[in-house]
């Protein structure tokens, strides 16, 4: 098992996968709120134009008013400081802050060239803002465009949520290649820290075979058991720690936090 991010001095972590429905937002929420409950200062960045993380905390994506990551990105695309710190909503939970997303049409408003131009300033301002936190968790969208590459390039480490499926193998290989490309463009190492298999079911046939296949990537693997409590908590705007702290899913996320982040 690799060292925890805290001992490595790594703060900025992207949770990314080009595939949808693998638990990116759910995991960002569970990990971030769990770290905050453990006494760490945490910033969540909603980097997905669908804005589900923002919606969880009551931020309406249809509104043009208030803090929004997109406002900072638009400024960066013009070559101007975006004031990322000004886009933070403080204390959405104790010790937990949020940079929300409100601009669902960001890809139409800012083209690929604009987002690529915004990359360097975003990374600089995020690194400066991270000095105020123990961890910054970035929720990425299920896509492979300039927005997603910008988010990974600004990070120091990546966690990839997956499912035990055949199609996940090709997707993981593409993600690993993408992280390597972002590392080269950033001029520094961006660490693939671990794989996070959500919706894990021991009863499902071939799971052991999939575990063996993915172990060949030589990346630490964590599993979160499939749980009805996770969607129930989300529907009630409760974190897993608020809605089902004794559940197996909470146990698995607690193990991930302890070993991959705090260990």
- Summarised one tens digit per residue, pLDDT across range 167-200 is 677 788 889 999 999 999 999 999 999 999 888 7
Q: Quick one: 128 exposed, middle or buried, by C-beta within 10 A (0-12, 13-18, 19+)?
A: exposed
**The pairing of beta strand 89-93 with beta strand 12-15:** unpaired
Alpha helices in the chain (DSSP H): 5-8, 24-37, 52-56, 69-77, 106-109, 112-130, 146-153, 166-186, 207-215, 229-235, 240-243, 248-256
User: Residue 85 gets which letter from DSSP?
Assistant: G
Q: For 27-36, what is the mean pLDDT?
A: 98
Q: Quick: pLDDT tens for 89-137.
A: 999 999 999 999 988 888 888 889 999 999 999 999 999 999 999 999 9
Q: Does domain 5-262 have CATH number 3.40.50.300?
A: yes
pLDDT at 121: 94
Q: Quick: pLDDT tens for 66-78.
A: 899 999 999 999 9
Asked if residues 47 and 138 have their Cβ atoms less than 8 Å apart, the reply is: yes
Q: Cβ contacts of residue 213 below 8 Å, gap of 6+?
A: 169
């Amino acid at each position: 098992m690799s060292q925890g991010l805290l001992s490595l001095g790594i703060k900025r972590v992207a949770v990314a996968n080009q595939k949808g429905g693998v638990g990116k937002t759910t995991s960002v929420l569970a990990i971030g709120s769990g770290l905050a409950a453990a006494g760490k200062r945490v910033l969540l960045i909603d980097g997905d134009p669908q804005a589900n993380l923002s919606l969880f905390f009551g931020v309406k994506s249809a509104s043009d008013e208030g803090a929004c990551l997109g406002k900072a990105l638009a400024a960066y695309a013009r070559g101007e400081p975006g004031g990322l710190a000004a886009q933070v909503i403080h204390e959405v939970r104790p010790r937990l802050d949020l940079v929300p997303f409100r601009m669902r049409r960001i890809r139409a408003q800012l083209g690929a060239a604009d987002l690529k131009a915004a990359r360097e300033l975003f990374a600089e301002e995020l690194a400066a803002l991270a000095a105020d936190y123990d961890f910054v968790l970035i929720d990425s969208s299920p896509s492979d465009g300039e927005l997603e590459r910008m988010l990974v390039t600004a990070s120091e480490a990546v966690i990839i949520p997956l499912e035990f499926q055949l199609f996940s193998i090709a997707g993981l290989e593409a993600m690993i290649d993408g992280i390597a490309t972002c590392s080269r463009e950033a001029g520094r190492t961006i660490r693939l820290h671990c794989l996070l298999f959500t919706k894990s079911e021991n009863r499902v046939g071939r799971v052991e075979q999939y575990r063996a296949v993915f172990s060949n990537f030589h990346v630490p693997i964590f599993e979160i058991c499939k749980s009805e409590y996770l969607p129930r908590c989300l529907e009630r705007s409760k974190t897993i720690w608020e809605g089902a702290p004794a559940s197996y899913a909470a146990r698995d996320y607690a193990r991930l936090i302890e070993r991959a982040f705090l260990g």
